[in-house]
């Protein structure tokens, strides 16, 4: 069990990247080219790496006031028609260059709200994907979809299951009606309960839910009530995100009155209490803000050392090449990262001109690759075996990371890590603050960059 030491959390819960990639997206630049993308894709073909597909649907019916996503709020569903047309073309454009034998072990629809699409549009999208890529039909792969509970019915949940989805991710955020109203996302508990029931009835393997702490009118007690209600539904995975109030950057957040926001101390208490409740209920802390039941594949992958991390967070398929489709979607192909155009107009116009809709990205140097290995291993396995790292990269890791490892003394004294110059291991509280430890090994981390990131906790 984690010792929820609020003093340490306060000291180390500073701003920092989530490390869904290393280098992080802040290092992406516009010098990358379509040739870089196609070459990286070809390397994956030669290495016969499996695939992970990410499809971004940027539309939402209503806006949530805490939103910091790249999305378009519109009731005009014709925009989705236009978008879908191009999405199908992007799928074809990339599929043409992919070895059709490469199996798709993971697929994720995110947004926005993927369930903004109509039943017919969702069906067309899956059929088109299946014609272009080698989707697995025996339910072994992980195909997940983000679900806004307000946009689904029993039959839609059934349809999505029939189309091959076996995991669902549900934005719950908070179950208190007053909080829901203040963030313009009203979805009563009975609605969430219904969706859970349908997902279970149709045999979805795993349900992931997101909670947010730090929202207007939330308190330690109110969040504890939300957690208690959610625990009754027993989702396999629960993520506990910190709300970062940045109205200067995200205009819609100006709808939230600052007076209604909980204080930093209250947020700390909320996070600690919620975390304690989850652990007492049998959930394991996977790392940072992710919890999973011991029976869930994520927890099992962590135990067996096969857990990975990519742009979708913790994943079971880190060895797969990630292909992103739609506005702002990121592809991670071996040692190349590439992000699609963020603006819908530019993305659409690139597709119409038959161009790869690439906006920016980066090619990893050898140093980037070594540091990526260290950081993702630390965040997934919660420890680094320096000997094994040395062998993988033909370096002396103690020497290579000499200055960084010298800084571990302070973290040992504070109880975040255990370190004997052979293995660096995160303690229970260190798992929560893993980003702070990872940042020490980040060559790009400078104080000036910190303001771009949300607080760790
Ligand atoms: S559903 Fe998600 S993407 Fe859409 S407005 Fe709400 S938070 Fe933003």
CA 427 to ligand 1 centroid distance, Å = 35
CB neighbours (10 Å) of residue 372?
18
State the pLDDT confidence band at 5, using cuts at 50, 70 and 90.
Answer: confident
- pLDDT, tens digit, 9 for 90 and up, residues 56-71: 999 999 999 999 888 8
CA 109 to ligand 1 centroid distance, Å = 14
- pLDDT, tens digit, 9 for 90 and up, residues 314-340: 888 878 999 999 999 999 999 999 999
Average pLDDT over residues 261-282: 91
Tell me what pLDDT residue 446 has. Answer: 64
Contact 152, 116 (CB under 8 A): no
**Least confidently predicted of 52-61, 79-88, 265-274, 289-298:** 265-274
Whether ligand 1 lies within 6 angstroms of the CB of 110 is answered as no
- pLDDT, tens digit, 9 for 90 and up, residues 252-267: 999 999 999 998 888 8
State the pLDDT confidence band at 303, using cuts at 50, 70 and 90.
Answer: confident
Whether ligand 1 lies within 6 angstroms of the CB of 56 is answered as no
Record the pTM. 0.93
- pLDDT, tens digit, 9 for 90 and up, residues 22-46: 999 999 999 999 999 999 999 999 9
Tell me what pLDDT residue 47 has. Answer: 95
Pocket test for ligand 1, best of 58, 64, 184 (most atoms within 8 A of CB): 64
- pLDDT, tens digit, 9 for 90 and up, residues 164-197: 999 999 999 999 999 999 999 999 999 999 999 9
Tell me what pLDDT residue 55 has. Answer: 98
Whether ligand 1 lies within 6 angstroms of the CB of 112 is answered as yes
Contact 136, 51 (CB under 8 A): no
Whether ligand 1 lies within 6 angstroms of the CB of 148 is answered as yes
CA 171 to ligand 1 centroid distance, Å = 9
**Least confidently predicted of 14-28, 181-195, 348-362, 413-427:** 14-28
State the pLDDT confidence band at 451, using cuts at 50, 70 and 90.
Answer: low
User: What domains can be seen in the chain, in order of their start residue?
Assistant: 1-23+365-457 (1.10.10.920), 27-322 (3.80.30.20)
CA 67 to ligand 1 centroid distance, Å = 6
Residue 453 in this model has a pLDDT that exceeds 70: no
**Residues in Cβ contact with 86 at an 8 Å cutoff, skipping those fewer than 6 apart:** 347, 348, 351, 352
Tell me what pLDDT residue 15 has. Answer: 65
- Residue 351 sits at the vertex; the CA angle it makes with 28 and 168, to the nearest 5 degrees, is 70
**Residues in Cβ contact with 173 at an 8 Å cutoff, skipping those fewer than 6 apart:** 64, 66, 179, 180, 183, 185, 210, 211, 212, 215
State the pLDDT confidence band at 6, using cuts at 50, 70 and 90.
Answer: confident
Which own/partner contact pairs does 82-88 have at CB distance under 8 Å and 24+ positions apart? Answer: 82/348, 83/57, 83/58, 83/59, 83/326, 83/344, 83/348, 84/117, 84/121, 84/124, 84/125, 86/347, 86/348, 86/351, 86/352, 87/55, 87/125, 87/325, 87/326, 88/124, 88/125, 88/128
CA–CA separation, 116 and 399 (whole Å): 52
Whether ligand 1 lies within 6 angstroms of the CB of 69 is answered as yes
CB neighbours (10 Å) of residue 254?
12
Whether ligand 1 lies within 6 angstroms of the CB of 68 is answered as no
pLDDT higher at 24 or 2 = 24
Task: Label the pairing between strands 206-213 and 237-242.
Answer: parallel
Average pLDDT over residues 144-161: 96
- pLDDT, tens digit, 9 for 90 and up, residues 355-385: 999 999 999 999 999 999 999 999 999 999 9
Residue 430 in this model has a pLDDT that exceeds 60: yes
Task: Label the pairing between strands 167-173 and 206-213.
Answer: parallel
CA–CA separation, 410 and 323 (whole Å): 40
Reduced to 3 states, what is the DSSP secondary structure of residue 437?
helix
Tell me what pLDDT residue 318 has. Answer: 76
State the pLDDT confidence band at 10, using cuts at 50, 70 and 90.
Answer: confident
CA–CA separation, 405 and 35 (whole Å): 38
Pocket test for ligand 1, best of 56, 63, 117 (most atoms within 8 A of CB): 63
Residue 457 in this model has a pLDDT that exceeds 70: no
| b (16+ CB within 10 A) / e for 332-365 | bbbebbbbbbeebeebbebbeeeebbbbbbbbbe
**Least confidently predicted of 13-22, 149-158, 232-241:** 13-22
Q: Identify the residue whose C-alpha is closest to ligand 1 atom 8.
A: 67
In this prediction, what percent of the chain has a pLDDT beyond 70? Answer: 96
Pocket test for ligand 1, best of 65, 69, 70, 116 (most atoms within 8 A of CB): 69
Average pLDDT over residues 387-415: 95
Q: Give the alpha-carbon dihedral of 314, 316, 317, 318, to 10 degrees.
A: 50
- 232: its two tokens: 């009754």
Whether ligand 1 lies within 6 angstroms of the CB of 172 is answered as no
Average pLDDT over residues 298-308: 89
Highest mean pLDDT among 75-84, 192-201, 260-269 belongs to 192-201
- 122: its two tokens: 């969702």
Whether ligand 1 lies within 6 angstroms of the CB of 71 is answered as yes
């Amino acid at each position: 069990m984690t010792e929820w030491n609020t003093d340490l959390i306060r000291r180390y819960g500073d701003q920092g990247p989530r490390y869904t990639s290393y280098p992080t997206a802040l290092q992406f630049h516009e010098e990358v080219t379509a040739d870089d993308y196609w070459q990286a894709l070809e390397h994956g073909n030669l290495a016969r790496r499996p695939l992970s597909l990410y499809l971004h649907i940027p539309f939402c019916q209503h806006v949530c006031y805490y939103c910091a996503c790249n999305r378009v709020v519109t009731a005009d569903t014709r925009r989705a028609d236009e978008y879908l047309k191009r999405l199908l073309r992007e799928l074809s454009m990339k599929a043409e260059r992919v070895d059709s034998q490469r199996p798709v072990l993971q697929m994720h629809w995110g947004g926005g709200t993927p369930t903004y699409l109509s039943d017919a549009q969702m069906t067309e999208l899956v059929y088109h994907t299946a014609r272009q890529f080698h989707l697995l039909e025996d339910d072994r792969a992980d195909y997940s979809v983000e679900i806004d509970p307000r946009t689904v019915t029993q039959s839609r949940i059934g349809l999505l299951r029939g189309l091959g989805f076996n995991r669902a991710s549900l934005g719950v955020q908070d179950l208190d009606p007053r909080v829901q109203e203040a963030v313009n996302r009203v979805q009563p508990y009975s609605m969430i309960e219904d969706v859970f029931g349908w997902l279970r009835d149709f045999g979805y393997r795993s349900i992931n839910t997101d909670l947010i702490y730090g929202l207007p009118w939330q308190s330690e007690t109110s969040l504890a009530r939300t957690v208690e209600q959610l625990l009754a539904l027993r989702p396999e995975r629960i993520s506990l995100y910190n709300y970062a109030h940045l109205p200067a950057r995200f205009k819609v957040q100006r709808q939230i009155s600052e007076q209604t926001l909980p204080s930093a101390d209250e947020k700390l208490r909320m996070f600690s209490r919620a975390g304690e409740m989850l652990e007492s209920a049998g959930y394991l802390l996977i790392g940072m803000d992710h919890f999973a039941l011991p029976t869930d594949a994520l927890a099992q992958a962590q135990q067996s050392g096969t857990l990975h991390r990519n742009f979708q967070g913790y994943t079971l398929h880190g060895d797969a090449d990630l292909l992103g489709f739609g506005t702002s979607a990121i592809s991670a192909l071996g040692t190349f990262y590439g992000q699609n155009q963020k603006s819908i107009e530019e993305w659409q116009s690139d597709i119409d001109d038959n161009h790869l809709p690439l906006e920016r990205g980066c090619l990893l140097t050898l140093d980037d690759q070594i540091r990526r290995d260290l950081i993702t291993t630390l965040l997934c396995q919660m420890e680094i075996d320096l000997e094994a790292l040395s062998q993988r990269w033909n370096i002396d890791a103690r020497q290579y990371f000499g200055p960084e490892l010298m800084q571990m003394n302070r973290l040992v004294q504070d109880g975040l890590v255990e370190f004997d110059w052979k293995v660096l291991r995160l303690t229970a509280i260190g798992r929560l603050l893993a980003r702070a430890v990872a940042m020490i090994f980040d060559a790009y981390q400078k104080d000036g960059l910190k303001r771009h990131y949300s607080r760790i906790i």
